Structure 1
Amino acid sequence: MADKSPGRPREFDRDDALRAAATLFWQHGFSGTSTRALATSLGISSSSLYAAFGSKADLFDEAVRTYALRYSAVYDVAIAEPTLAQVISRLFAGSISEFVRADDGHPGCLTSSAVMVDTSATLDVRTFVTDLQRRDEERLRNRIERSALVGDVPSGTDAATLSSLLQTLWHGLATRADLGAGVTELTSTAELAIALLSLERPGDVSQ
C-alpha cells in the first residue's frame, strides 16, 4: 500500500481566499459577515477555514493587512520617479488602479472604507493601518524635501504641508472610489489637482 502524504492538500488558493473574504467584509462589515458565509464564499468547510486562518478575526486581520501593504507598495514605485510631478502622478495613478479593481469584485479602498469602523475588538488593525499611512506620508515628505534641494519645487515650499495635502487628496480619491467613482472620474480629479498645484498639465496622470 502506498504511503499517505504527510498532510491533506489545500483545497483553495490563499490569495483567492483573501480576495473573497475581503469582498464579504467590504459588503457586510466584520460583524455582519458570518464564518459560514466566509466558508461558503471560499468554497471550503468551516474547519478548513479555521485550519488555514485561525479565527474570523484572524482572517479579517490578514485581509486588511494584505490590502494595506498593497496600497503602501504604490509609494515604493512612486517615490523612485525622477521629478516630484512624476512622483505625484505615479502615486495617484497607481492608487486609483488599486482602488478600482474589477477583478477583485469590489471598488474602493478597504482601509479607508466603512469596514474599518466595524472591526474585531481583539484586533488592532486600525492602529496598524494608521501607522502605515503615517510612514507613507513621511516617505513622501522626505521625497519632497529632496526635490526642494535640487530646485524641483518652488522655493519656500513647506514639505510637511504639501505631503499632508497630497495625503488628503489620496484619502479623498479613496473615499470617492468607495462611493462608486470609476477610473475616469478619479483620474480627472487627480489631473485637476495636479494642475492646480502647478506640478503638471492636465491629462498627464497615466495608468
Structure 2
Amino acid sequence: MTAPTRRTAGRPRSFDRADALRQAAVLFWRHGFSGTSTRMLSEALGVSSSSLYAAFGSKAGLFDEAVRTYALRYSAIYERAVAEPSLARVLERVLIDSVEEFSRVEQGHPGCLTSSAVMADTSATLDVRTYVADLQRADEALLCTRIEQARADGDLPAATDPIVLTELVQALWQGLSVRSDLGAGRDELLGAARFALTLIASPGRS
C-alpha cells in the first residue's frame, strides 16, 4: 500500500523590512496613525501581529521608523543637490527631484508623508515630529550655505539675500509637498516647479 503523500506548507513570505516600511507608510497616509489598526498592518505586511511587534516593537514604533525613513529620503535629495556645479542645477534638483519622490504613485504614495495631516495624528509618546522639524532645518541650512557660496562665486547677483532665497525655495518645497498630499498629479506639480524655477532665475539675468 502506498503511503499517503504529505502536503507541505507553502514557504512563508520572507520579511523585507524596506518593503514593510513602504506598505505601512501607505496605510498611514491613507488612514492616519489612529485609523490604521495593527490588524490592517499585519495583513498588508503579510506577517502575524507577533512578528510585527518583534520587528518594530509596536504600531507606534513602526510609524516612527516609517516617517524617519521617508524624511531621510527627502533630506538625501538636498545632499545630492548641493553638490551640483551651478545654483540653477541645485535648485532644480531640490524641487524637481522632490516632486518625483512625492509622486511615486507606482509605489502607492499619495503625497509627502512628513507634511501630511498624518503628522498631527501621532502617538503622544513619539518625538518624530521634532525629528522631522530638526531634519528640515538641517536641509534648509545646507541649502542656505550653498546659496551663500553661489553668491560668493558670482553665480548669483551680489544683492541677493541667501536667507530670503532659501526661505522662498523652502516655501515652494512645502507648498509642493502639501499639494501632492492633497492629490495633485506629477505633471501638475512638475509644471509648477519648473515655472517657479524660471521666475527665480529671471531677476538679474541677461
TM-score normalised over the length of structure 2: 0.90
In structure 2, give the amino acid aligned to 1:139.
L
Q: Matched residue pairs, number?
A: 192
Query: Larger C-alpha radius of gyration, 1 or 2?
Result: 2
User: Equivalent of 1:43, from 28, 46, 54?
Assistant: 46
> Cα offset for 1:107?
2.1
- Contact kept? 1:11, 1:44, Cα under 8 Å: no
- Give the 5 Å matches for 1:18-167: 18-167=21-170
TM-score normalised over the length of structure 1: 0.90
Cα-to-partner distance string for 1:114-163 (whole Å, 9 max, x where unaligned): 10010011100100000000000000000000000011011111111110
- Contact kept? 1:85, 1:199, Cα under 8 Å: no
- Contact kept? 2:29, 2:110, Cα under 8 Å: no
In structure 1, give the amino acid aligned to 2:86.
T
Instruction: Output the aligned Cα RMSD.
Output: 1.4
- Contact kept? 2:13, 2:46, Cα under 8 Å: no
Q: What's 1:6 paired with?
A: none
Give me the whole-angstrom Cα distance separating, in 1, the residues matched to 2:111 and 2:35.
Answer: 19
In structure 2, give the amino acid aligned to 1:63.
A
In structure 2, the CA distance between the partners of 1:199 and 1:134, relative to structure 1 (3 Å rule), is farther
Q: Gapped runs of 5+ residues in structure 1?
A: 1-8, 201-207
> Once the two structures are aligned, what percentage of the paired residues are identical?
64
Give me the whole-angstrom Cα distance separating, in 2, the residues matched to 1:75 and 1:106.
Answer: 20
Q: What's 1:205 paired with?
A: none
> Cα offset for 1:23?
0.6
Give me the whole-angstrom Cα distance separating, in 1, the residues matched to 2:71 and 2:109.
Answer: 15
Which runs of structure 1 show a deviation greater than 4 angstroms over 4 or more consecutive aligned residues? none
- Give the 5 Å matches for 1:169-188: 169-188=172-191
In structure 2, the CA distance between the partners of 1:153 and 1:95, relative to structure 1 (3 Å rule), is same
In structure 2, give the amino acid aligned to 1:23.
V
- Secondary structure of the corresponding residue to residue 201 of structure 2: coil
Give me the whole-angstrom Cα distance separating, in 2, the residues matched to 1:62 and 1:122.
Answer: 14
- Secondary structure of the corresponding residue to residue 141 of structure 1: helix
In structure 2, give the amino acid aligned to 1:160.
I
> Cα offset for 1:105?
0.7
> Cα offset for 1:10?
7.7
- Secondary structure of the corresponding residue to residue 31 of structure 1: helix
